[in-house]
Structure 1
Amino acid sequence: MPDPLAMRRDAYVTYLYRLDNDLRSRDPRRSAQARRSLARLRHSFVEGRQYQAYAIVFGHEPPHDSAEQQVWLLVGGLFALHPLPWKGGGAGPRSLGASMGRLHKKLGSPAVERRFTQLLARDKQALPHHLRQTIRLLSAHEVPVHYGRLLDDLVTLLGKDHRGDRASSVRLRWAEEYYLPVSAPTTKSSDEPSTDLPETTQ
């Protein structure tokens, strides 16, 4: 029997992916509406303006759990910062660790690994801030993110079990998929941003 909560999560992520499609639509009304929706989702990061994202998120019926509701808001905002979803299905590597692994192999910069290990070390309170930095970095280099997997993982990392075995398993999978070989291009074009990444401090 299908899990109703999993179906709602999938429907929400499908909606986010549809915004990406609409953003590139030849229909100016669809693309304009997508831009407005993404702008509202980005306001989830702006103190005093988070309410603009509430109608979108709560319109997709998140559970009556405040921790997961915050995750839906966070993932919506992250998607709005970087609406480049991971293409294709299957059960292969697709965590945030896999995305960072692609970035590392693309740039060949040790700063990427430092940024990734810092991300793994962050606790529940600091993780959202560092996720925003990470997503902006991936956006700058056009590396996709699987937002469905990210939502599921963050429900664990930012939920009641954020110090438990399930959270440890998520971080272990991120690390495993970071170091796995990937098929992404490893060459860097001359017009990409510098690989000299600033250090992240707590």
Structure 2
Amino acid sequence: MTTSIVERRQAFTADLYRLNSALASPVPHRVSEARQVLARLRRSFAGPRQQAEAYDFIFAHNPPEAEQEIWLLTAGLFALHPQPRRNTRSLGASMGGLVSVRGESVTRRFTQLIARDRTALAHQLRQVIRLLNSEKVPVDYDQLLGDLVVLLGDRYRGDEAQRIRLRWAREFHYRPGARESTEDSSTPADTN
């Protein structure tokens, strides 16, 4: 029985999240192994030789040939910001939540991110993930992998890629409570 690409992607990200869980294990050997794997995945950004050290983790999940680089990028991004699966948010919502902490510089960074073409997107993503890690803001790596398959794949100029960018922007700019509080304060008081 063959597994679908979606199932393989989910198994891959589940193993990424398991690496984070292993960091909190009471078994020192599990912690050590998880740290070693995460270090190899982080180093994959350094060049081809270092990428080769991460291949065992990536290829154990049988990524489609067209998605191999994207899975490698996602694993490296996770290694920069390992986290548990709970309370994850989309990249747009995560960046939007960071505005209240870091100010308008986050808006500029986010605008640069969604305006990047696919050749510069990976570099910009590394910067954004480091920024999110600095404030411990979670990211949904399941969704991020699926989004990157479109944004960095053959469909990067199509409608689906534009929908992803618009979703990220909507989730970035929509902050529950912010709009309601400004509408409440701008509504004239009843003078009766």
Contact 1:85–1:147 (CA under 8 A) maintained in structure 2: no
- Find out whether 1:57 has 2:61 as its counterpart: no
In structure 2, C-alpha distance between the alignment counterparts of 1:49 and 1:96, rounded to whole Å: 26
Contact 1:85–1:146 (CA under 8 A) maintained in structure 2: no
CA shift at 1:106, angstroms? 3.1
State the Cα RMSD in Å: 1.7
- Find out whether 1:99 has 2:94 as its counterpart: yes
Tell me, what secondary structure is at the counterpart of 2:113? helix
Task: Identify which of 149, 160, 163 aligns with 2:157.
Answer: 163
RCO higher in 1 or 2 (8 Å CA, sep ≥ 6)? 1
CA shift at 1:86, angstroms? 4.8
Contact 2:70–2:145 (CA under 8 A) maintained in structure 1: yes
Contact 2:113–2:124 (CA under 8 A) maintained in structure 1: yes
Instruction: Give the alignment of 1:115-154 within 5 angstroms.
Output: 115-154=109-148
CA shift at 1:3, angstroms? 6.9
Show the counterpart of 1:43. Answer: 43
Contact 2:17–2:85 (CA under 8 A) maintained in structure 1: no
Contact 2:95–2:106 (CA under 8 A) maintained in structure 1: yes
* Stretch of structure 1 that moved more, 24-33 or 79-88: 79-88
- Find out whether 1:75 has 2:68 as its counterpart: no
CA distance 1:36–1:168, change in 2 (3 Å):
same
Show the counterpart of 1:198. Answer: none
Matched residue pairs, number?
175
CA shift at 1:179, angstroms? 1.4
CA distance 1:86–1:14, change in 2 (3 Å):
closer
In structure 1, C-alpha distance between the alignment counterparts of 2:18 and 2:104, rounded to whole Å: 35
Contact 1:13–1:147 (CA under 8 A) maintained in structure 2: yes
Could you tell me which runs of 5 or more consecutive residues in structure 2 were left unpaired when the two chains were aligned. Answer: 178-192
CA distance 1:3–1:182, change in 2 (3 Å):
farther
TM-score (norm 1): 0.82
Show the counterpart of 1:32. Answer: 32
- What residue identity is the alignment partner of 2:45? F
Structure 1 ranges of 4+ moved more than 4 A: none
Tell me, what secondary structure is at the counterpart of 1:163? coil
CA shift at 1:44, angstroms? 1.4
Tell me, what secondary structure is at the counterpart of 1:83? coil
- Identity of aligned pairs, percent? 52
Deviations 1:162-192 (A, max 9, x none): 1111100000000011112259xxxxxxxxx
Contact 2:42–2:79 (CA under 8 A) maintained in structure 1: yes
In structure 1, C-alpha distance between the alignment counterparts of 2:53 and 2:133, rounded to whole Å: 23
In structure 2, C-alpha distance between the alignment counterparts of 1:171 and 1:117, rounded to whole Å: 10
- What residue identity is the alignment partner of 2:91? L
Tell me, what secondary structure is at the counterpart of 1:80? helix
